[in-house]
């Protein structure tokens, strides 16, 4: 979930009104957003200190990157508040191209590493501090969340005045080209920049193993940037007060790159900047053509059957009512009989299906328009057999004097394997554990119970504890190679604990569960030889119990005798 | 404590002392033994309890010498001393040589020697003809009589102890010959020093005694009611000693359910009462069921290596069930038959088989869809696993509560109707509000916020209508409501805790002592 900071003054200017916290909290859900923090520092919303303050906002919709900026969020709220859906005349469309003063030539060498690019120029006024900050924040949120940590989209800003056109986008041998990366003072080869620059360390993984690396250079060969890693220290060093900035995005997903460019362009346009198109010339045709002038509108209209909307929302809505609701949510549409054709706004591409349009209808009308309705379908509720058998077993264990415990299912190899002396082959191991303490899934409840015993030496004795819960272990007969089972585990620890006590518990359990059972000799290393038994039911082993081996107790630092048992109760369910 | 209350709290051992003695009486174990029939342990208890209540005080201590009968002494008392037996033998069987006598009496040569020496010295026996011991006076000496008296008196006492003060002068002299302080194994008595405490009733004892008399308590009331009393009916002749009911009772450690488990069970019961059937499943899942089937694109950021746990071995399922695999893959790539345009990428059929620990309970909903009847309702409280640093508000494994409602006519308003039922019935909320939400697998999506009587406004859960890209590839043609509830905060409050880790505590004592208060 992206969190953004918006400049209070800029936000309210774009919103067209000042709101206090309560009023903001009321309208933010319309953008699936929440107020995350707003330190007024003793001032009042929108007062003279507003340009120095920020409002923190959390955005919940990971498929609406257009909301992750001051201008984008303000736009959504403005429209919901009744403002007209904005129009952006600088977009080119299929068969309707805007004139482009600037050109970038894409060379075929980037096709394998990072094939796509979009760009435009913002002009008309110098960039303000708030706008530059917001642009940098937008770049971070867009490229991190939507652009998958810059893998599919990254972005750069440049001073157009220093650039000789046309610009070339190509891939080069990372050892053959040097430039001064942003924030440094000496030229480095691309490969050195990866190792030496903080951004190189952070994003170098994207280019790992690539023989040629992307590079953006102007007509005189000066480096603009090394996408997706870092800008150059001259053309790519943008400061407050600069005007005529080139905004460029590269990536591996043409639609994501194009949409990101559209979002940034609309944000600047809302803030009063003029957007000048840039033509990108590809060596081969792309899905949008060989020569594409950006910003480019590529989205397709989505058809919605008004009866589907009515059915999903539980409220009969006419096509015109739907049209009106969509306009309120910022979506233009037209009516064809009972169908509505919705046109995704330039900065959105989240209409995958007609149901996505239905949600905008819901938002446009407001939640209050949909009173909750009691469900009418009759269905019979029931517990899962595992839960039923577990409850039976729990009641019996409580009657036998045992305290129920509830444990975590992840643990260390030390606890689940080494201390128990079991074969690690049978235990499910995690390949990317966050720490060693959560590297394995428990194959048995016994280590959990022993962990309790080890941690509870100061609790008055006797200790009689149990758990019903799940274990998982390797089982090659399963499609996943792993079996999950519902089990009961128990442990008694006190000075007189012995085999007979465990045997009595097992006998009582099976008697009241109404199960026929028998025991066989067992040679489980966790128990003392000759003082353990395997539980048999209908010819299969369903558990084991006995006196825990002193070696195991010693491994756990337990210094009182203990007996334990574990039964697969799922097989009774 | 007033005298009456004090009197009621007294044990019979105390009562009898208070009733019997007055100020100035010097009390000790010997006296209580003689006059009240107390054993030493009972006297000690009586003095200790009375002392704790301020009813007796120590008047002084005296040291006395005591003689304790040894096991050998006890044997001698019974069978006779060597001297006695020697004298009896010679008197009854006539003169005999010492070795002969030793063999007949089963005594050591040296013991016979010293016995004869002593008797001969006292003129009782003499060495006669043929080195045979013969009778002289033939009459036991006063010393021998004193020894006999000591042995028999000591053997009759309960503890085999004679106080030095109880001995006559000849006895004391005789005792010197048969008692030793150390290494007394070969002697009849062990000599020791004992400290004796002398008590006196304190100034407030008469008041307590008066209260006892007033209450009619004698100390002979019935204590424990025994089976023998019931059988004989002897209880009819007595009165029952009242017990001090204010005493802190002994602690029991009963078998008990875990309060967190009880809380989860209560939520399950509530959902069952609302017509939901419980589902359950594997802890290990595939990327397919965990996320792909839920229409989360394979490049979604929540599917990164830093968000889900992957298995080291095996790494992949053998297969994914058809036709679900193909149908889900098409939904991702181009929408398939769902009317969606899909995510426009090449679905990875190897990645989808990768094994992970299930990261969301919704995986069970996806699986339930493949066999769901119309109408039907399912729920589960499923253990899920997340790549999270464990702290007070995050766990790496924890429970999620979720479910689905399948029906021809379910819609946004019935979804809100369910959420309202959960809020009121399960969470006990009085006020409920809904706001638009976002989940990758539902559209439209809403969040439900409730005003809890204690916690205030908070997000109870999220819900929505499953996208057609989720339901249709799994064979469901009707709308499906999907919901999830966060019940952890309610659980913490119900258990009086503020750290999620406590829910899974391995501390036996903490869990044994934990109490719960919840109404669901």
Q: How far apart (Å, rounded) are the C-alpha atoms in residues A411 and A439?
A: 6
Please give the pLDDT value at position B1.
Answer: 61
| Contact in structure between A535 and A567 (CB atoms under 8 Å) | yes
CB contact under 8 A, A460 and B319: no
Residues 39..58 of A with a Cβ closer than 8 Å to B: which? Answer: none
CATH number at residue A342: 3.30.56.10
Which site among A375, A488, A489 would you substitute to test the B interface, given the most B Cβ atoms closer than 10 Å to its Cβ?
A375
Same domain, A180 and A111: yes
**Within-domain flag for A95:** no
Which residues of chain B make contact with A288, given a CB cutoff of 8 A? none
Mean pLDDT of A501-526: 94
Enumerate the β-bridge partners of residue B199.
Answer: B27, B58
Tell whether A107 and A217 lie within a shared domain: yes
A375 in a domain, yes or no?
no
Q: Assign residue A144 the CATH number of its domain.
A: 3.50.40.10
Look at A375 and B410 and tell me if their CB atoms are within 8 Å: yes
| pLDDT at residue B141 tops 60 | yes
pLDDT of residue B518: 60
Give me the pLDDT at residue B104, please.
86
ipTM score assigned to the predicted complex: 0.90
Q: Would you state the pLDDT for residue B184? A: 67
Task: Give the 3-state DSSP-derived string for B394-414, with helices as H, strands as E and coil as C.
Answer: ECCEEEEEEEEEECCCCCHHH
> Does A308 share its domain with A413?
no
Kindly state whether residues A250 and A394 are assigned to the same domain. no
Interface of B with A in 212-271 (CB under 8 A): 251, 253-258, 260-261, 265, 268, 271
Q: Give every CB contact of residue A66 below 8 A, 6+ residues apart in sequence.
A: A72, A75, A76, A263, A266, A345, A347, A348
How confident is the model over B16-48, as pLDDT tens digits? 999 999 888 999 888 898 899 999 889 999 999
d(CA A405, CA B261): 8
Residue B27: how many CB atoms within 10 A of its CB? 23
Asked if A506 and A516 count as a contact pair (C-beta separation under 8 A), the reply is: no
Percent of chain A with pLDDT over 70: 100
Question: A128-142, A342-356, B256-270: lowest mean pLDDT where?
Answer: A128-142
Cβ contacts (< 8 Å) between B286 and chain A: which residues?
A: 480
Q: What is the Cα–Cα distance from A129 to A110, expressed in whole angstroms?
A: 34
* Cross-strand pairs, B378: B277, B404
Picking from A250, A275, A294, the residue at the C-terminal end of a domain is A294
Do A136 and A278 belong to one domain?
yes
Q: How far is CA A321 from the centre of its chain?
A: 35
* β pairing state of A463-474 and A403-404: parallel
Please tell me which residue, A458 or B40, carries the higher pLDDT value: A458
Spell out the residues 6+ positions from residue A127 whose beta carbon is closer than 8 angstroms to its own: A135, A238, A240, A241, A242, A243, A245
A407 CB within 8 Å of a chain B CB: yes
DSSP E strand stretches across A210-338 = 213-217, 223-226, 230-231, 245-251, 274-286, 289-294, 302-305, 332-336
Q: A169 - beta bridge partners?
A: A106, A216
pLDDT digits (tens, 9 = 90+) for A181-202: 998 989 999 999 999 999 999 9
Q: Is residue B183 predicted with pLDDT exceeding 80?
A: no
pLDDT higher than 70, residue A305 = yes
DSSP B182: S
Task: List chain B residues with CB under 8 Å of A148.
Answer: 299, 301
The whole-angstrom separation of Cα B55 and Cα B4 is 14
Tell me whether residue A96 is in a domain. no
> Which of B367, B394, B436 should we substitute to test contact with A (largest number of A Cβ atoms within 10 Å)?
B436
Query: Which residue in chain A has the smallest CA separation from B254?
Result: A401
Average pLDDT score, chain B: 90
Cβ pair A353:B339 closer than 8 A: yes
pLDDT in tens, A241-263: 998 999 999 999 999 999 999 99
Integer Cα distance of A428 and A443 in angstroms: 7
Give the one of B335, B355, B443 whose C-beta lies nearest to A480's C-beta: B355
- Probe site for chain B from A67, A149, A288, A410 (most B CB atoms < 10 A): A410
Dihedral angle computed from the Cα positions of residues B296, B300, B305 and B307, in that order, rounded to the nearest 10 degrees: -70
Contacts of B395 in chain A (CB under 8 A): 408
Nearest-by-Cβ selection for B258 from A375, A405, A481: A405
User: B254-309, pLDDT tens digit by residue?
Assistant: 999 999 999 999 999 999 999 999 999 999 999 999 999 999 999 887 777 678 99
Q: Which residues of B touch A452 (CB under 8 A)?
A: 506-508
Q: How far apart are CA B304 and CA A62, in angstroms?
A: 15
User: A434: nearest CA in chain B?
Assistant: B387
Nearest to A400 among B255, B306, B407 (CB): B255
pLDDT tens string A482-510: 999 999 999 999 999 999 999 999 999 99
* CB count in 10 Å sphere of residue B45: 15
B396 closest CB neighbour out of A29, A434, A465:
A434
- Residue of chain A whose Cα is closest to the Cα of B481: A312
| Record: contact A377-B509, CB cut-off 8 A | no
**pLDDT tens profile A352-378:** 999 999 999 999 999 999 999 988 899
- Strand ranges, E, within A287-371: 289-294, 302-305, 332-336, 339-343
Q: CB of A106 within 8 A of CB of A236?
A: no
- Using a CB-CB cut-off of 8 Å, the residues of chain A touching B285 are 480
| Beta-bridge partner residues of A119 | A248
The reply to whether A86 falls in a domain is: no
Q: Is A88 among the domain residues?
A: no
DSSP state of B238: S
- What's the average model confidence in pLDDT over A454-458? 95
The DSSP H or E segment spanning A564 is strand A562-568
- CB contact under 8 Å between A373 and B414, yes or no, is yes
- Three-point CA angle A105, A110, A113, nearest 5°: 150
Q: Are residue A7 and residue A120 in the same domain, yes or no? A: no
Nearest alpha carbon to residue B319 among B286, B356, B275, B357 = B286
Domain limits at A445?
385-572
Q: Which of A352, A401, A486 sits opposite B255 (nearest CB)?
A: A401
- Residue ranges and CATH numbers for the domains of chain B are 3-55+202-237 (no CATH), 69-187 (1.10.10.10), 261-513 (3.30.930.10)
Choose the final residue of a domain: A278, A294, A310: A294
Examine the domain organization and report whether A337 and A469 are in the same domain: no
Q: Decide: helix, strand or coil at residue B76.
A: helix
For residue B520, what pLDDT band results from cuts at 50, 70 and 90? very low
- Overall domain count for chain A: 4
A143, A145, A372, A449: best mutation site toward chain B, by most B Cβ within 10 Å? A372
Residues A472 and A565 reside in one and the same domain: yes
Angle at B375 between CA B448 and CA B475, to 5 degrees: 95
Q: Is residue A200 part of a domain?
A: yes
A-chain residues within 8 Å CB-CB of B507? Answer: 452, 455-456, 459
Contact in structure between A509 and A395 (CB atoms under 8 Å): no
Query: A459 and B416 in contact by Cβ < 8 A?
Result: no
Last residue of one domain, picked from the residues A45, A80, A115: A80
Q: Which residues between 467 and 506 in chain B have a beta carbon less than 8 angstroms from any beta carbon of chain A?
A: 467-469, 479, 503-504, 506
Residue A409 placed within a domain: yes
Residues 13-32 of A with CB under 8 A from B: 29-30, 32
The C-alpha atoms of residue B58 and residue B60 are separated, in whole angstroms, by 6
A68 plus A162 within the same structural domain: no
pLDDT at B397: 92
Mean pLDDT of chain A: 94
Q: Of chain B residues 316-335, which have a CB less than 8 A from chain A?
A: 317-319, 335
If you measure CA to CA, which chain A residue comes closest to B510? A459
Phi, psi of B488 (to 5 degrees): -60, -45
Which pLDDT does position B434 carry in this prediction?
92
Q: Which of B255, B407, B435 sits opposite A464 (nearest CB)?
A: B255
Q: Which of residues 286-325 of A touch B (CB under 8 A)?
A: 300, 311-315
pLDDT of residue B519: 53
Question: pLDDT at position B136, please?
Answer: 86
| Residue B242: per-residue pLDDT | 82
Residues A390 and A489 in one domain: yes
Taking only the tens place, the pLDDT of each residue in B77-95 is: 888 898 899 889 888 888 8
> pLDDT, tens digit, for every residue of A98-118?
999 999 999 999 999 999 999
Residue A373 belongs to a domain:
no
Phi/psi zone of residue A167: left (φ > 0), alpha (ψ -120 to 50 degrees), beta?
Answer: beta
Q: Which residues numbered 482-501 in A keep a CB inside 8 Å of some CB on B?
A: 482, 484, 486
A399 and A307 fall within a common domain: no
pLDDT(A444) > 90: yes
A317 & A432 share domain: no
Collect all residues of chain B within an 8 Å Cβ-Cβ radius of residue A451: 506
Coil, strand, or helix at residue B156?
Answer: helix
């Amino acid at each position: 979930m992206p969190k953004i900071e918006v400049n209070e003054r800029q936000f309210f200017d774009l919103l067209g009104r000042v709101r206090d916290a309560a009023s903001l909290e009321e309208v933010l859900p319309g953008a699936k957003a929440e107020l995350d923090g707003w330190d007024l520092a003793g001032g009042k919303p929108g007062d003279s200190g507003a340009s120095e303050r920020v409002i923190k906002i959390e955005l919940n919709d990971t498929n609406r990157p257009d909301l992750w900026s001051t201008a984008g969020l303000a736009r959504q709220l403005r429209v919901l508040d009744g403002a007209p859906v904005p129009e952006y005349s600088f977009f080119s469309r299929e068969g309707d191209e805007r004139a482009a003063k600037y050109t970038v030539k894409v060379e075929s060498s980037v096709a394998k590493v990072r094939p796509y690019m979009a760009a435009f120029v913002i002009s008309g006024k110098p960039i303000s501090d708030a706008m530059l900050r917001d642009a940098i924040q937008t770049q971070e949120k867009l490229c991190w969340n939507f652009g998958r940590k810059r893998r599919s989209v990254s972005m750069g800003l440049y001073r157009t005045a220093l650039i000789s056109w046309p610009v070339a986008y190509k891939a080069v041998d990372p050892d053959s080209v040097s430039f001064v990366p942003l924030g440094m003072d000496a030229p480095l080869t691309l490969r050195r920049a990866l190792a030496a620059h903080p951004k190189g360390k952070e994003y170098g993984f994207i280019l790992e193993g690539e023989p040629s690396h992307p590079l953006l250079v102007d007509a005189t060969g000066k480096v603009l940037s090394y996408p997706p890693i870092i800008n150059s220290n001259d053309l790519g060093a943008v400061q407050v007060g600069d005007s005529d900035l080139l905004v460029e995005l590269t990536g591996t997903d043409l639609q994501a790159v194009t949409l990101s460019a559209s979002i940034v362009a609309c944000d600047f346009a809302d803030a009063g900047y003029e957007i000048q198109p840039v033509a990108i010339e590809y060596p081969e045709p792309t899905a949008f053509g060989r020569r594409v002038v950006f910003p480019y509108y590529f989205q397709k209209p989505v058809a919605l059957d008004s009866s589907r909307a009515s059915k999903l929302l539980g409220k009969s809505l006419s096509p015109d009512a739907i049209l009106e609701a969509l306009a309120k949510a910022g979506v233009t549409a037209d009516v064809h009989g009972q169908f509505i054709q919705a046109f995704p706004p330039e900065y959105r591409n989240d209409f995958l299906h007609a149901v996505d349009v239905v949600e905008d209808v819901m938002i446009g009308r407001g939640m209050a328009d949909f009173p909750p309705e009691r469900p009418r379908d009759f269905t019979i509720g029931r517990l899962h057999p595992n839960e039923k058998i577990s409850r039976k077993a729990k009641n019996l264990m409580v009657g036998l004097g045992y305290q129920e415990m509830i444990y975590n299912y992840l643990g260390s190899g030390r606890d689940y394997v080494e201390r128990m002396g079991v074969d690690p082959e049978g235990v499910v191991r995690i390949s990317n554990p966050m720490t060693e303490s959560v590297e394995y899934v428990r194959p048995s409840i016994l280590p959990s119970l022993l962990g309790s015993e080890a941690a509870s030496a100061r609790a008055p004795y006797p200790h009689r504890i149990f758990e019903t819960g799940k274990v998982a272990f390797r089982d090659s007969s399963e499609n996943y190679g792993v079996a999950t089972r519902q089990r009961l585990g128990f442990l008694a620890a006190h000075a007189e604990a012995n085999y007979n006590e465990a045997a009595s518990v097992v006998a009582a359990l099976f008697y009241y569960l109404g199960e026929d059972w028998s025991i066989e000799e067992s040679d489980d290393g966790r128990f003392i030889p000759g003082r353990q038994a395997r539980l048999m039911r209908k010819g299969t082993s369903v558990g084991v119990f006995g006196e825990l081996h002193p070696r195991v107790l010693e491994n756990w630092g337990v210094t009182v005798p203990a007996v334990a048992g574990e039964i697969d109760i799922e097989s009774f369910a | 404590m007033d005298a009456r209350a004090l009197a009621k709290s007294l044990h019979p051992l105390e009562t009898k002392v208070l009733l019997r003695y007055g100020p100035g009486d010097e009390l000790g174990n010997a006296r209580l033994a003689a006059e009240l029939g107390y054993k030493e342990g009972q006297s000690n208890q009586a003095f200790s309890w009375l002392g704790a209540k301020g009813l007796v005080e120590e008047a002084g201590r005296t040291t006395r010498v005591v003689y304790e009968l040894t096991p050998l002494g006890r044997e001698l008392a019974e069978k006779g001393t060597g001297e006695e037996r020697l004298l009896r033998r010679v008197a009854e069987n006539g003169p005999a040589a010492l070795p002969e006598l030793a063999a007949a009496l089963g005594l050591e040569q040296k013991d016979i020697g010293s016995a004869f020496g002593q008797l001969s010295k006292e003129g009782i026996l003499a060495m006669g003809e043929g080195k045979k011991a013969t009778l002289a006076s033939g009459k036991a000496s006063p010393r021998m009589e004193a020894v006999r008296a000591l042995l028999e008196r000591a053997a009759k006492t309960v503890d085999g102890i004679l106080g030095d003060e109880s001995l006559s002068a000849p006895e004391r002299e005789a005792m010197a010959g048969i008692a030793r302080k150390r290494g007394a194994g070969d002697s009849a008595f062990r000599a020791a020093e004992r400290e004796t405490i002398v008590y006196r009733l304190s100034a407030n004892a008469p008041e307590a005694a008066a209260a006892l008399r007033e209450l009619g308590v004698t100390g002979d009331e019935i204590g424990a009611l025994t089976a023998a009393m019931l059988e004989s009916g002897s209880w009819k002749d007595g009165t029952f000693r009242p017990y001090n009911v204010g005493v802190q009772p002994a602690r029991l450690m009963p078998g008990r359910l875990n309060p967190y488990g009880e809380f989860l069970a209560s939520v399950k019961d509530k959902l069952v009462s609302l017509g939901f059937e419980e589902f359950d499943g594997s802890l290990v899942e595939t990327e397919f069921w965990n996320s792909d089937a839920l229409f989360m694109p394979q490049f979604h950021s929540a599917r990164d290596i830093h968000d889900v746990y992957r298995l080291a071995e095996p790494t992949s399922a053998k297969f994914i069930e058809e036709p679900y695999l193909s149908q889900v893959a098409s939904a991702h790539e181009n929408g398939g038959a769902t009317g969606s345009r899909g995510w426009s990428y090449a679905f990875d059929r190897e990645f989808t088989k990768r094994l992970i620990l299930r990261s969301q309970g919704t995986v069970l909903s996806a699986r339930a869809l493949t066999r769901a009847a119309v109408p039907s309702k399912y729920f589960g409280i499923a253990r899920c696993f997340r790549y999270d640093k464990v702290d007070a508000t995050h766990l790496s494994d924890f429970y999620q509560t979720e479910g689905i409602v399948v029906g021809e006519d379910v819609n946004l308003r019935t979804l809100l109707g369910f959420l309202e039922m959960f809020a009121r019935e399960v969470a006990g909320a009085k006020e409920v509000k809904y706001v638009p939400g976002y989940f990758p697998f539902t559209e439209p999506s809403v969040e439900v916020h409730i005003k809890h009587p204690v916690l205030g406004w908070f997000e109870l859960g999220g819900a929505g209508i499953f996208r057609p890209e989720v339901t249709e590839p799994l064979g469901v043609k009707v709308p499906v409501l999907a919901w999830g509830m966060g019940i952890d905060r309610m659980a913490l409050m119900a258990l009086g805790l503020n750290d999620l880790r406590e829910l899974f505590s391995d501390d036996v004592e903490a869990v044994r002592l934990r109490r719960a208060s919840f109404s669901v």
